[in-house]
Amino acid sequence: MDRVVLGRTGLSVSVAGLGGGGFSQLGLSTGKTPAEAAALVRRAVELRVNFIDTAESYGTEETIREGLRGVPRDAVVLSTKKSAWKNGGPVTAAELVAGLEASLTRLGTDHVDVYHLHGLSPGAYDHAVAEWVPTLQRLKRQGKIRWIGVTESFEKDRGHAMLARAIPDGWPDVVMVGFNILNPSARERVLAPAAAKGIGTLAMFVVRTAFSRPARLTEILADLQDRGILGPGLDPGDDPLGFVTREGGAASLAEAAYRFCRHEPGIHVTLFGTGDTGHLEANVRSLSGPPLPALVLDRLRSAFGAVDDVSGQ
Ligand SMILES: NC(=O)c1ccc[n+]([C@@H]2O[C@H](COP(=O)([O-])OP(=O)(O)OC[C@H]3O[C@@H](n4cnc5c(N)ncnc54)[C@H](OP(=O)(O)O)[C@@H]3O)[C@@H](O)[C@H]2O)c1
């Protein structure tokens, strides 16, 4: 498992990051027991995944604590988050602090490595800068947070409007951004400006539904075609992305999607969410695999280079 430096944080992180959210929530939302979910976390660490992401809202912080029992605290980079919006209104600074304290308790630690504002919308951005960022900066000075992060709400903010403000403003040390084969618009709008500021990047939505459920991919491609957004380059017929696995030497589109992201310049950690140990092991292999061939990347760029309004959900 390759390691990279997470931008200006200086943290040494595995290029594969285990996500505790998404549809699987480490298996807790797909029928696995808490013990099985904790074993999945442990297996990830055995496979040298050292970046683990969760959130107050996922309900997986305690599972991660269980999975990491006996693992030295400094052997993993823990990332968690709080949605700063509830019941239609902003949380107070005191609630943000209380949220962090509760996460620390559930995770069984006295500090998190990256603490994010979770799913910050463009509409809440000014409030975040005025109210929450100073609170996060204070928590950072106190050592409870090592680095400040922000995650976008990619399902709605598919063109990265929030991060297009946050990155030039420079306050986040780390950003979490939606990036995948179907919507690579973060390339110019997020990854390049983040690199210029030394901001660490975490990619989400890399496989999501589009590359784990073939029927959903068919629907998304038909919609892009109908709206005239799809460029040339796909295979004719009923397997338009067949060339990606065939010429990319990938066993599945999920493998190709993870390799696509892993080798995108400017992305540090590719997050994957799963509750399935077989998928975990396959994803670690994929994220240790080679880039897709240049000809495949060229065709993908030609087909999807102008897409900025699908998430792959
Ligand atoms: N705004 C935010 O802050 C935000 C939003 C979304 C996600 N995230 C973070 O990003 C992480 C990744 O989330 P994501 O949902 O976007 O993850 P993802 O890795 O793009 O997609 C995960 C989905 O694909 C399936 N899958 C995983 N590996 C597979 C494989 N090898 N073959 C077939 N299917 C596979 C999983 O189901 P199985 O359980 O069956 O494997 C799950 O349904 C989350 O866990 C969370 O930590 C953050």
Model-level pTM?
0.98
Q: Is the pLDDT of residue 273 over 90?
A: yes
User: Is there a contact between 240 and 234 (Cβ–Cβ < 8 Å)?
Assistant: yes
Q: Ligand 1 centre from 131 Cα, in Å?
A: 31
Rounded to 5°, the CA angle 266-267-270 comes to 170
Q: Where are the alpha helices (DSSP H) in the chain?
A: 34-46, 61-67, 93-107, 125-127, 133-141, 161-169, 186, 192-197, 214-226, 242-248, 253-262, 277-287, 294-304
Strands 77-82 and 51-53: parallel
Average pLDDT over residues 175-197: 98
Mean pLDDT across the chain: 97
Q: What percent of the chain has pLDDT over 90?
A: 97
User: What is residue 86's predicted lDDT score, i.e. its pLDDT?
Assistant: 82
User: Is there a contact between 69 and 27 (Cβ–Cβ < 8 Å)?
Assistant: no
Q: Ligand 1 centre from 275 Cα, in Å?
A: 9
Q: Ligand 1 centre from 262 Cα, in Å?
A: 15
Neighbours of 305 (CB within 10 A): 14
Q: Is the pLDDT of residue 31 over 90?
A: yes
Query: Structural domains in the chain?
Result: 3-304 (3.20.20.100)
User: What is residue 64's predicted lDDT score, i.e. its pLDDT?
Assistant: 98
User: What is residue 88's predicted lDDT score, i.e. its pLDDT?
Assistant: 82
User: What is residue 118's predicted lDDT score, i.e. its pLDDT?
Assistant: 98
Q: What percent of the chain has pLDDT over 70?
A: 100
In the structure, which protein residues have their CB atom closer than 6 angstroms to any atom of ligand 1? 19-24, 30, 53, 118-119, 151, 153, 176, 204-208, 212, 254, 271-276, 279, 282-283
CA-closest residue to ligand 1 atom 11 = 19
Q: CA–CA separation, 22 vs 134, rounded Å?
A: 29
The residue to mutate among 58, 212, 258, 259, having the most atoms of ligand 1 within 8 angstroms of its beta carbon, is: 212
CA-closest residue to ligand 1 atom 27 = 274
Q: Counting every residue, how long is the chain?
A: 313
User: What is residue 89's predicted lDDT score, i.e. its pLDDT?
Assistant: 87
CA-closest residue to ligand 1 atom 15 = 22
Q: Is the pLDDT of residue 297 over 90?
A: yes
pLDDT in tens, 124-147: 999 999 999 999 999 999 999 999
Q: Is 258 a catalytic residue?
A: no
Q: CA–CA separation, 92 vs 77, rounded Å?
A: 27
pLDDT in tens, 72-102: 999 999 999 999 888 888 999 999 999 999 9
Q: Ligand 1 centre from 208 Cα, in Å?
A: 5
Q: Is the pLDDT of residue 241 over 90?
A: yes
CA-closest residue to ligand 1 atom 31 = 279
State the pLDDT confidence band at 200, using cuts at 50, 70 and 90: very high
Average pLDDT over residues 49-54: 98
